[in-house]
Copies of this chain bind each other. A is one copy, B any other.
Amino acid sequence: MSEHVYKIVELVGSSTKGSDEAVRNAIARAGKTLRNLDWFEVKEMRGHLADGKISHWQVKLAVGFRLTD
């Protein structure tokens, strides 16, 4: 029962609003094609600048999901 196997995919979410929102956007996209999403881990936080301001935040994250047998 506890001998599950999980797969991890790496995504970069972006948002004009902030870092947490960039994470949420990536998770939302992952949920469209993957089932059994279980956890995420932030790997890198960065962003693009335009006209001296943050045009969008970019957060790289690992997302783990349980593989079905």
Contact = CB atoms under 8 A, between A and B. Distances in A.
Chain A, interface size: which category?
35 or more
Number of copies: 12
A24 B54 contact: yes
A59 to B, nearest CB: 9
Contacts of A49: 27, 37-40, 63
25 contacts: A2-B56, A3-B14, A5-B13, A5-B14, A6-B11, A7-B10, A7-B12, A8-B10, A8-B12, A18-B20, A20-B57, A23-B47, A23-B54, A24-B54, A27-B49, A27-B52, A27-B53, A28-B52, A28-B53, A31-B53, A38-B48, A39-B47, A41-B46, A42-B44, A42-B46
